[in-house]
Amino acid sequence: MSDGPGSGADIVWEAGSPGLGAPAGTEWETVIGLEVHAELLTRTKLFSASLNSFGGEPNSHIDPVCLGLPGTLPVLNRHAVELAMRVGLALGAEVRPSIFARKNYYYPDMPKNYQISQYDRPINVGGSLELPSGKVVGIVRAHLEEDTGKSTHVGGAGRIDDAAWSLVDYNRAGVPLLEIVSHPDLRSAAEAREYVTELRATLLAVGASDGKMEEGSLRVDANVSVRPLGSAEFGTRCEVKNVNSLRSLGRALEYEARRQIELLSSGERVAQETRHWNEDTGRTSPLRSKEEATDYRYFPEPDLVPLVPDPAWIEQVRSELPLLPRQRRHRLAAATGRPPARLALVVERGQDELALEATEAGADPEAVLKHLEQNLADGTGRLTAAGLAGLITMEQSGELTSNQVKEVLAEMVTSGESPATVARRAGFEAVGAGELAGVVDRIIAEHPAEWQRLCAGDDRERKKMQGFFTGQVMRATKGQANGRDVAALLADRAGA
């Protein structure tokens, strides 16, 4: 929904404006601002006591308040307010006294004929989100509102126009939502995906939402415009709706930017409108234009008092925030000397604590990260930091070959045992120095003719015989001798 005070004047393309009939070869920049709706993880609805839970028998989580029956009054859910504050504080927003407003429009899935939302006095104002790349995206506001019910249009193409009849499920009506509005700071589809990924991780970290795009608990409306690269003014934007996954978001934005560039390049203008993303055709199509946009006739909700959280409560919520993904990237960056962008994957998988401890236990940070990134994509199971550090020591001292390291690591993940225990059981123990010398001497004694050729032969002959003896030693030790040690012993015995 388009709500909230405008935060950037739209540019009307006039004859002579840059971009109108832009010269061939003009480079274009995409500008994106996102409105993300997150369902909050409360037990009950925003203004009533029925359950906030996904799915369930249609119309089984309903009550007179969320159905808007006459004579009912909303009672604000304290936990929803706390979750909204957690998100706001995590984004560095200012938590302000706020006012609920009625946003009036008619739709069957909204039985009151208005939605209770926040308009000119939202609870969270300002803030920003730092992406793994280091880019900082400004946040305009993050306000509370109630979700609508769900309509299913039966017959025709599933849209209301040509449906034979419609079904309404009010289980979702009144579920608390936080709408998080970004500044138009994003510059590509990839960056928009990175933003949603980071925002989702932040919502999950503070326990505000489950972030399930596939269940609609995280929904994205994407505003996109294009402008000639270097232009200081924004182009006319379109708002794209019905984007239900990160992949669709990327596709929809790329399609929409290309469509607008083609229009402007051929001398036409972009009409400011809301467009519908069609997953099957891979296109957007007009839904409604700004001119025919609904006037929501906002006014303060008379049944609710202003929301003025006690400053002590705000400070308590702030002090209870967990470490955020951004902070965890920076913490690991400080410990490993690697850039935060490189560490996003490890943090995303929740493996940063292990990486940190293994590094603090003295393991080589690069080796720690390499194992986490390449060999532990499916999780670290029962692997301990000390175990990983120990394994890396064995790897780097040549006690284990790289194939053996992988095998031992996989075993450690399931058993939680130490690398030494696993390596011993697998028979991967490196042959000790004394034992190896004995093996080398025995093999020399068993092959006097070959040994003679090694000692007296020319370079080629010596090389060939070294290979022969090394092979024999490896066979005798089942491949567990260190090649360097064998070469040194052979050289020593040959008196070279």
Which residues make up the interface to ligand ADP (CB under 6 A)? 2, 4, 6-8, 31-35, 181-184, 223-225, 234-235, 237
Tell me which of ligand ADP, Mg ion, none is bound by residue 8, counting a contact when its beta carbon lies within the kind-specific cut-off of 5 to 8 angstroms.
ligand ADP
In the complex with ligand ADP, the residue whose CB is nearer, 181 or 454, is: 181
Tell me which of ligand ADP, Mg ion, none is bound by residue 250, counting a contact when its beta carbon lies within the kind-specific cut-off of 5 to 8 angstroms.
none
Do residues 476 and 484 make contact, with C-beta atoms less than 8 angstroms apart? no
Do residues 88 and 124 make contact, with C-beta atoms less than 8 angstroms apart? yes
Residue nearest to ligand ADP (CB): 33
In the complex with ligand ADP, the residue whose CB is nearer, 3 or 352, is: 3
In the complex with Mg ion, the residue whose CB is nearer, 242 or 477, is: 242
Minimum gap (Å) between residue 401 Cβ and ligand ADP: 54
Do residues 357 and 385 make contact, with C-beta atoms less than 8 angstroms apart? yes
Asked if 393 is part of the footprint of Mg ion (rule: CB under 5 A), the reply reads no
Minimum gap (Å) between residue 185 Cβ and ligand ADP: 7
Taking the CA atoms of residue 203, residue 206, residue 209 and residue 211 in that order, the dihedral angle to the nearest 10 degrees is 40
DSSP-assigned letters across all residues of 136-160:
EEEEEEEEEEE---EEEEESTTSSG
Tell me which of Mg ion, ligand ADP, none is bound by residue 234, counting a contact when its beta carbon lies within the kind-specific cut-off of 5 to 8 angstroms.
ligand ADP
Minimum gap (Å) between residue 11 Cβ and ligand ADP: 7
Total residues binding Mg ion (CB under 5 A) = 2
Residue nearest to Mg ion (CB): 2
Minimum gap (Å) between residue 240 Cβ and Mg ion: 13
Look up residue 345 and give its two tokens. Answer: 């994957």
Tell me which of ligand ADP, Mg ion, none is bound by residue 33, counting a contact when its beta carbon lies within the kind-specific cut-off of 5 to 8 angstroms.
ligand ADP
Q: Which of 447, 457, 456, 380 has its CA nearest to residue 413?
A: 380
In the complex with Mg ion, the residue whose CB is nearer, 4 or 365, is: 4
Q: Which of 358, 80, 86 has its CA nearest to residue 204?
A: 86
Tell me which of Mg ion, ligand ADP, none is bound by residue 6, counting a contact when its beta carbon lies within the kind-specific cut-off of 5 to 8 angstroms.
ligand ADP
In the complex with ligand ADP, the residue whose CB is nearer, 31 or 436, is: 31
Minimum gap (Å) between residue 279 Cβ and ligand ADP: 22
Minimum gap (Å) between residue 44 Cβ and Mg ion: 27
Query: Can you name the residues that pair with 83 across neighbouring β-strands?
Result: none
Name the phi and psi angles at 154, rounded to 5.
Answer: -100, 135
Q: Where are the alpha helices (DSSP H) in 52-138?
A: 78-90
The Cα–Cα gap between 36 and 33 comes to 10
Q: Where are the beta strands (DSSP E) in 25-125?
A: 28-39, 94-95, 100-104, 114-118, 124-125
Q: Where are the beta strands (DSSP E) in 170-207?
A: 176-182
Minimum gap (Å) between residue 304 Cβ and ligand ADP: 22
- Class of residue 30 by CB neighbours under 10 A (exposed 0-12, middle 13-18, buried 19+): buried
In the complex with ligand ADP, the residue whose CB is nearer, 192 or 439, is: 192
- Angle of helix 385-396 relative to helix 352-360, nearest 10 degrees, comes to 60
In the complex with ligand ADP, the residue whose CB is nearer, 272 or 336, is: 272
Minimum gap (Å) between residue 225 Cβ and ligand ADP: 3
The Cα–Cα gap between 37 and 33 comes to 13
Minimum gap (Å) between residue 386 Cβ and ligand ADP: 47
In the complex with ligand ADP, the residue whose CB is nearer, 33 or 88, is: 33
What residues have CB less than 8 Å from 424, skipping those under 6 apart? none
Do residues 231 and 18 make contact, with C-beta atoms less than 8 angstroms apart? yes
Tell me which of Mg ion, ligand ADP, none is bound by residue 225, counting a contact when its beta carbon lies within the kind-specific cut-off of 5 to 8 angstroms.
ligand ADP
- Class of residue 319 by CB neighbours under 10 A (exposed 0-12, middle 13-18, buried 19+): exposed
Minimum gap (Å) between residue 276 Cβ and ligand ADP: 17
In the complex with ligand ADP, the residue whose CB is nearer, 192 or 385, is: 192
In the complex with ligand ADP, the residue whose CB is nearer, 18 or 33, is: 33
Tell me which of Mg ion, ligand ADP, none is bound by residue 183, counting a contact when its beta carbon lies within the kind-specific cut-off of 5 to 8 angstroms.
ligand ADP
Tell me which of Mg ion, ligand ADP, none is bound by residue 184, counting a contact when its beta carbon lies within the kind-specific cut-off of 5 to 8 angstroms.
ligand ADP
Binding mask 2-21 for Mg ion (x = CB under 5 A): x-x-----------------
In the complex with ligand ADP, the residue whose CB is nearer, 30 or 351, is: 30
3-state SS, one letter per residue, for 293-331: CCCCCCEECCCCCCECCCHHHHHHHHHCCCCCHHHHHHH
Tell me which of Mg ion, ligand ADP, none is bound by residue 224, counting a contact when its beta carbon lies within the kind-specific cut-off of 5 to 8 angstroms.
ligand ADP
Q: What is the DSSP letter of 46?
A: S
Tell me which of ligand ADP, Mg ion, none is bound by residue 244, counting a contact when its beta carbon lies within the kind-specific cut-off of 5 to 8 angstroms.
none
The Cα–Cα gap between 301 and 119 comes to 11
Query: Can you name the residues that pair with 139 across neighbouring β-strands?
Result: 182
Tell me which of Mg ion, ligand ADP, none is bound by residue 313, counting a contact when its beta carbon lies within the kind-specific cut-off of 5 to 8 angstroms.
none
Tell me which of ligand ADP, Mg ion, none is bound by residue 71, counting a contact when its beta carbon lies within the kind-specific cut-off of 5 to 8 angstroms.
none
Length of the chain (residues):
496
In the complex with ligand ADP, the residue whose CB is nearer, 59 or 231, is: 231
Number of H helices, E strands in the chain: 15, 15
Strands 273-278 and 283-289: antiparallel
Q: Which residues bind Mg ion (CB under 5 A)?
A: 2, 4
